[in-house]
Structures are given as C-alpha cells and as structure tokens.
Structure 1
Amino acid sequence: MNILLTGGAGFIGRSVAKRLLADGNKVWILDDLSNGREENIEEFKVDLQDFIVGDIKNEGLLEDLFSKIKFDICYHLGASINVQDSIDDPRTTFNNDTLGTFYILEQCRKHNVKVVFMSTCMVYDRCMDEKGITEEHPIKPASPYAGSKIAAENMVLSYYHAYGLPTVVIRPFNTYGPYQKTGGEGGVVAIFIKKKLAGEILSIYGEGTQTRDLLYVDDCADFVVQSGYSDNVNGEIVNAGLGSDISVNDLALMIARDSSRIEHVEHIHPQSEIQKLLCNYDKAKELIGWEPRISLEEGIRRTEDWIKTSHLI
C-alpha cells in the first residue's frame, strides 16, 4: 500500500516506519523534526519513497502531497508530545495536535484515505480498578496536551460518523525503548537508564508511588500498524499497553539496583499527574488479535544495550 506517516522520524514513528517497510509497503514520511531526528531513520531512509521535512499545518504542502500520491492509509503520529511544554505554551500544542490533525483529516476526507490517529493514555482520569483502564473509562484533560488530544480525537471520530471515512483513535500507554530521547523530553525508562550508566542519581518527581504501564516500542509499533490494516477498528478508540503497572519507585530500583542512588524531588507539574496508569487491552486483543510480547525486564535490557552501544553516556 501507499502510506503517509506523519512524525515518522520520531521515536515511535521510526519503529512504525520500519515495520511498514518490512511488510512491503511504500512509505512517505512527513516530519518537521521538532521532536523527531533524521538520524533515527538513517538505516532505512533509502527504502522510503520520500522523506519530507515539513509541517502538518502547511495546507499547501498537504494538498500537493495528497493530489500527487494516492495514499491508502495515513498514520498520523506527528504532534507536540511534552506535557510540561503544553502547560508553558498551550498555543503551540493546540495548533500542532488539534489544528494540525484537522488539516490532515481534510485531505484524507477529500481523497478517501484511512486515518490512524495516535492519541495518548494521558487523556484518562485516575483509575483504581485492578482490571485496568478500558476505552470506556472517564477522561480528564489534566494538561493542554491531553485537552488538545481529546479535541483531535473527537474530530477524527466525527469524520467517521459524518463522512464514513475509515478512522481509528489509538491510545498507547507509556511507550519506551531504543531511540527514545534520554534527556529532559525523553521517557522515564530512558532517562533512568542513562543516569544509571553515567553513575548519576535517579531523580523521582513527587512520592514515586504513581504507577505506569510500560509498553515496549516494537509492541507499540505492531499495534499501530495493525490498527491501519484492519477494518475491525474503524470508528473505534483502542488502548494498547503491557497490562501490568509498576510504581516509579519500583522502576527506579529495578534499573538502579541501589536505593542509595535514588532521590525524590518536588514535582514540576503535579496537577497533570495521573496516579495510576494500568491498561486493559482486551479490546485490541478482540478486534485485531494484538497483545504485547516483550516483558518489562526484557524491554529494559534491550533499551540499556541500545543506550550503551549508541554511546549516549
């Protein structure tokens, strides 16, 4: 198939692109490199149909692209993804995540292209149910990032109901693995591993009792890709996660293996914290036969090996 992948030079986008190419698809990547990095796709860049450095808010660019190429699916991963940035500068996040998604939807509507929209587990309200968060769980936009994603989700689903356009909203839980940034904008696993390898203290925001459901990036990419291939999820919201959660305290100890190398610091955005994140992925299993394959221990090992070999310390 002909596939447009926005945000394809990002951490998750890279793995999605690699999987799509392995499946024999023709892939075009559109990325403004605000979060992504061109070196992320260096190993398979030659196999792409094109790598376009551009903005999803550039309507002229999108019109030209969609008129020239008959796409079958648009995997829309391009977005502002940092919660703190959205609190400091909500306009940029809204424009990228909500308005940018609208521009993508308009082109897909005109050319009848399926849309796979990457949302986030950060849209959910806190959950104490040990069965985990289902797609019916209440939402709570605790940050402009979550609010922008919810607004975009509603637009994506409205195009399914109003126009019959095949669309799906996917909500992966906290994804980690190789190629994730190891600095301030990275994920907790990558940051903790880098600090451990560098002999530094692992800093935990708040009490560290908050839990995360950590999904390895290859499992996430498999979920993203399958959501595009299947008609069973059209018009649906679908979760993906490991199905088990771990407190940030326990995660730090698993990685550092030494409690003396862990400290607690004041939370920088406690109002947007979700105390418990545990995914129920029954719907993904039922509709597309997806379930995660990589355990947390194995995923951490693979991520640590990548950080070592990439000389990121």
Structure 2
Amino acid sequence: MTKEIVVTGAAGFIGRWVTNELLARGHRVYGLDDFSNGSYRNIKELNESERFTIAEGDICDEDAVDELFNEGVDACIHLAAEIDVQESLEDPQSHFDSNVVGTQNVLEACRRTDTRLGLVGTCMVYDMAGSEEGISEEHPVKPASPYAGSKLAAENLAESYYHGYDLPVVILRPFNTYGPFQKTGMAGGVVSIFTNRDNQGEPLKIFGDGTQSRDLLYATDCARFIVEGTFCDEAVGEVLNAGTGSDISINELAELISTDGTEITHVEHHHPQSEVQTLRCDPSKAEAMLDWEPEVSLEEGVDRLRTWLREEGAEQA
C-alpha cells in the first residue's frame, strides 16, 4: 500500500538515502530542505520519480513546515538538523534554532494532523561506553557539545508529545553512517574524508591519538533502519539504536582505507572536550523489534564508496 511521507532534510546525505528507500518501496515522498547542508545533486536521480517532490524551505519557518502536512500524510521522518560539532561550539544558537525550535515546528505539524513521527537522533548523545557489549538504549546520556545537547533536547520534546498528546513517535539513533553522497570535507564523516583523500593521494589526517573508535554503518542499512523503525507499531514511544555491534579505532580505519604510498599523520584535535572515545552500538533491540540487521560489511562499504567517489567525483565541503 502506497503511503505519503514527509521527509525533512530530504536532500541531505542520510535524507537522500531514506527518500530512495521509501521510493523503492512504492511510497510518495514530500521532501523539505533548505539546502544549507543538502544539495540538488544528491536528489538529482530521485527527481525522476513522479512520487517525489521537494520544497525548498527551513524547518524554523512554521509556514514552510505546515504546507507539507495534510490529513493524507501517513508519517514524517525528521532528519533536518544542524550536525557539525565544531560549529555548534562556535555558534550554539544556530544549533538550538534548527534542532530544537525546528523540531518543535515539526512536532506541532504532526500533532495538528495526527501524523506518526520518526525522529532521527544521534549516537553522540551517549556517555562513553562502559561495557564490552556496547551502547544500548539504556546507556547514560552525556551530551558533550551544543550539537549533542540540542539533539537530545529535540528527543525530549518528541517524547513529551508522545506522553502528553499520544502522538506516535519513534526515536531513532543510528551510529556513524557513511556512504555515497556524504560530504568529503570537514563536514563529512571520517570514512568519506579518508577514502576521498586516499583516492586523491593526500595524507590521512587523524585528530588526536587515533585510539577513539566508531561503529560504522553503511548508508543503505541506515535508511532501512529508519524506514522500518518509523513504521513499527511496537517501536512507538521507544528509542532504537542502529549499528553493526563492532567498532574500529580511527588508527585501524586509516590503515584499512589507505593504499600503498598514502601517508597517515596525526594532528591536534580541534574539539577534544567533545570527543566520545568509544562508540560501539548494541543493536539487539532493533534486531529483535524490527527484524533488522546490517547487511554491508565495512570492507564492502568502503569499496562501494571508493568506486562511487572515483566515478562521480567528490563533493568538497
């Protein structure tokens, strides 16, 4: 059955893959993006579908958000956000505006139309991992930057609408996601940055000592998780993590990605106080509730990304 879904941040990296997943399932997508992070390039091939439309607008603009919602909309997947840790430390107001005020606008539109909401959060809200099993949804939170704080505040707002208004809300926390269409400059993810630099024959620069580790999730696996989590009735009112269940240090990642002749260097960390040392997901709740598990290994994902970057060219940012 075809559903109508609003996707905020539809032209962003993850938004693009979520939209692609929804279209592949036969749904109708109404996208919203202000193109500060997203790009028309990301959605060029998606625009060929008659079931996809994109509106240019800011989630901080109530009217722009409201125009997307009507009684026929089945769900909203909310991805639009400011996402840069360093920028949040330099300009916390912009992250508060987008991530808190913007989310409030989306929640009000969902409440007005009784629309199911899949709110996409971040693993950066968690405190450092304290067990070998990885970070579960019960793990303590400790936002160490205005980015993480504003994303956690958005989750708390959404939870209040679930409890206060019985709005069907699912909070989704994917771990570090990578893949084609991700930016390759400082606003991108470490896998995309390293792979692009290796393709260009440039040194791979590691911030700090490189012992910090990440659980790296391929874009298509992340998109499946977000779509399936949003529509899972059992998940309403719940927080769900998604990751591979294993982590890799940044030093090991650099070794995996680098090819012969590529230099690996260490540089001073630009925000050590906001670094989460160990991010390893415990995905067992999502696996049990959604029957979801990642399908793409890190090695395969890096190969796919490397091929895409060579064929399509990297988007510098």
- TM-score, normalised to structure 1's length? 0.97
Call closer, same or farther: CA 1:219–1:55 in 2, change over 3 Å: same
CA deviation profile, 1:13-62 (whole Å, cap 9, x unmatched): 11110110111111100000111001111112132442100011111222
Distance in 1 of aligned mates of 2:53 and 2:39: 15
How far did residue 258 of structure 1 move? Answer: 5.1
Distance in 2 of aligned mates of 1:259 and 1:209: 22
CA deviation profile, 1:98-119 (whole Å, cap 9, x unmatched): 1100110011011100010010
Aligned partner of 1:65 among 63, 68, 75: 68
Distance in 2 of aligned mates of 1:65 and 1:5: 9
Structure 2: which amino acid aligns with 1:6? T
Match of 2:178 in 1: 176
Distance in 1 of aligned mates of 2:292 and 2:211: 29
Match of 1:273 in 2: 275
Match of 1:121 in 2: 123
How far did residue 311 of structure 1 move? Answer: 2.5
**Which consecutive residues of structure 2, in runs of 5 or more, have no partner in the other structure?**
none
Does the Cα contact within 8 Å between 1:253 and 1:259 map onto a contact in 2? Answer: no
Kindly, what percent of the aligned residue pairs are identical?
Answer: 51
1:158-307 to structure 2, matched below 5 A, reads 158-257=160-259, 261-307=263-309
Distance in 1 of aligned mates of 2:230 and 2:134: 25
Does the Cα contact within 8 Å between 1:5 and 1:76 map onto a contact in 2? Answer: yes
SS across alignment from 2:5: strand
SS across alignment from 1:86: helix
Call closer, same or farther: CA 1:266–1:258 in 2, change over 3 Å: farther
Match of 2:312 in 1: 310
SS across alignment from 1:158: helix
Distance in 2 of aligned mates of 1:173 and 1:134: 11
Distance in 2 of aligned mates of 1:60 and 1:119: 24
- TM-score, normalised to structure 2's length? 0.96
How far did residue 277 of structure 1 move? Answer: 0.5
SS across alignment from 2:69: helix
Call closer, same or farther: CA 1:183–1:57 in 2, change over 3 Å: same
**Which consecutive residues of structure 1, in runs of 5 or more, have no partner in the other structure?**
none
How far did residue 260 of structure 1 move? Answer: 6.5
Structure 2: which amino acid aligns with 1:53? E
Does the Cα contact within 8 Å between 2:6 and 2:68 map onto a contact in 1? Answer: no
Match of 1:157 in 2: 159
Distance in 2 of aligned mates of 1:174 and 1:63: 31
Distance in 2 of aligned mates of 1:291 and 1:64: 35
SS across alignment from 1:232: helix
CA deviation profile, 1:220-265 (whole Å, cap 9, x unmatched): 0000000122111100000000110000000001111458610000
CA deviation profile, 1:70-103 (whole Å, cap 9, x unmatched): 2110000000011111111000001000110011
1:51 equivalent in alignment to 2:54: yes
Does the Cα contact within 8 Å between 2:6 and 2:77 map onto a contact in 1? Answer: yes
CA deviation profile, 1:115-138 (whole Å, cap 9, x unmatched): 100100000000131100000000
Structure 1: which amino acid aligns with 2:230? G
Distance in 2 of aligned mates of 1:176 and 1:264: 22
How far did residue 200 of structure 1 move? Answer: 0.8
Distance in 2 of aligned mates of 1:163 and 1:15: 30
Call closer, same or farther: CA 1:18–1:49 in 2, change over 3 Å: closer
Does the Cα contact within 8 Å between 1:207 and 1:264 map onto a contact in 2? Answer: yes
SS across alignment from 2:128: coil
